[in-house]
Amino acid sequence: MSFSKTIQPVATPLSFHIHTFENFDNPVYYLGVIGLRIIDIFMVLLGFFFTVLGIIGIFGTLPGFFYTGYLFYAYCRNKFNDRSLIKVIEKGTRPKVEILDDKLFSRPIIVDYLKNILQPDSDQSFYYVVCGEHGSGKTTLFRIASSEVGRGVVYVDVPSRVEDFGKGFGKALNFAFEERISFTQQLTRKLVDTNGNSNEPVWWRALKAFKRGAKEYKAKYNKPAVIVCDNVSRLVHKNPEVLDILQDDAKDNADEHIYIAVFICSEGAVLRMKSRSSWSRAKNPPMEICDLSEEESIKYMTEIHKITEKAGELYQLVGGRILELKSVANDLSSKQFIEDIREKILLKAYNKLYSAKILKNQKHHEAGKRVIDALLRSKEINIEEFRELFANEEKYDDALEANVFSFHPSRNTVSFQSQSIEYYIRENYDAFADLVSLSSNYASTSK
């Protein structure tokens, strides 16, 4: 006897997924199918939404990576520049002396004085102006002193092409003109200016960099750094505003003991600098690099150029101006006759007098005669007397710019610009025959 029981399938509300013929008549089945389709569509839409959101997120993070990259780049560059500037100032730029040792005439007293200038005290509150005529040797002397002092001294030369001053300044600092800039400035520069250029003048950017380095140097060594600006007279005619800003900044930083500036120039530039309020922090009187004395000149000719027989005669022609002594010494060494050298010197002096419009029938002849008369009497006259003698003239400084007369800031006087100018006047006294001083005394000495 067997016991068996037939089990019949039982339909429940949740069995809509079982495809039996009975399901087709069950409305719950259709509701379930519709629900599944809705869920499928929702999941697809949700997946699409998150996909789009992910793509947007990726692109949205790119600016962040971009910003972070440039921020890191700016940080690294600023740190690199700061370290480089400090190293340059610590070591000093040590400019080369472009004269062979056997052709270099030693002036140890002046060099020692300049070295003292280049090593200021921690609380020094004034800057220096050092002047001298072209060819007096001031650049060579400062290069020697700067090189020997080394630490803390940055030497910058204003080139003949003044537009390159900023590049020369940056080169002296080993500075690539990538100054300290903020992240916003970094981004703006890259977005607006693809060349990475700044609207600020290059020389100003270099000066700001030097000041940053000078602050670090002062904090480390408790003494101000020194910047030597040579040939600043070139700025007077082509870009005087730059010289004004440099002078003002020198005054401000002397007040704050951050750095000490030394300006090397001709006497004419001093007149402009003295007229400005920032002159109040200049060391007075300005130092003047003078010509060699007669004894030094003879020594220079004999030791450097091996000229003994004609040394005194050459000195009478050109005086103690090293550049002119070198020129006439080279002429004599090249077998030129002393008479030919003399004629060349006189012609050069004539051209200067002509440029100053002091010769007969020229605009400044009468005023020039008055000044010449005074100088033949006393060698030097006060600058105020010089101005008075040029009364009613358009510009009394025309004669100074033409290198006929020379201003001496250390004494506030005016003299003949060179020995050769005075020599020409004495040799050609007939052109100034109505002067009292050009009497038989000068006539006899010129024959």
Distances (CA, A) of 275 to 132, 271, 280, 282: 19, 7, 10, 12
Give the neighbor-by-neighbor strand order of the sheet with 405-408.
Answer: 381-382, 413-416, 405-408
Nearest to 122 by CA among 229, 217, 228, 227: 217
Length, in residues, of the chain: 447
Written as one string, the DSSP assignment of 345-369 is HHHHHHHHHHHTT-STTSTTHHHHH
For every one of its 447 residues, what pLDDT tens digit does the chain have, with 9 covering 90 and above? 444 444 444 444 444 444 444 554 556 555 666 766 777 677 767 667 767 766 776 665 656 555 555 556 556 666 666 777 888 899 999 999 988 777 889 999 999 999 999 999 999 999 999 999 999 999 999 999 999 999 999 999 999 999 999 988 988 887 655 444 454 444 444 433 334 455 788 899 899 989 999 999 999 999 999 999 999 999 998 899 999 999 999 999 999 999 999 999 988 889 899 999 999 999 999 999 999 999 999 999 999 999 988 999 999 999 999 999 999 999 999 999 999 999 999 999 999 999 888 888 888 888 888 899 899 988 999 988 998 888 755 567 677 778 899 999 989 999 999 999 999 998 887 766 555 444 444 444 444
Nearest to 217 by CA among 92, 43, 107: 92
Q: What is the pLDDT of residues 246-297, one digit of tens each?
A: 999 999 999 999 999 999 998 888 989 999 999 999 999 999 999 999 999 9
Q: Please name the residues in contact with 214: beta carbons below 8 A apart, sequence gap of 6 or more.
A: 89, 224, 225, 227, 253, 258, 259
* pTM of the predicted protein model: 0.76
Query: 3-state DSSP call for residue 195?
Result: coil
The Cα–Cα gap between 399 and 372 comes to: 12
On whether the CB atoms of residues 191 and 185 are closer than 8 A, the answer is no
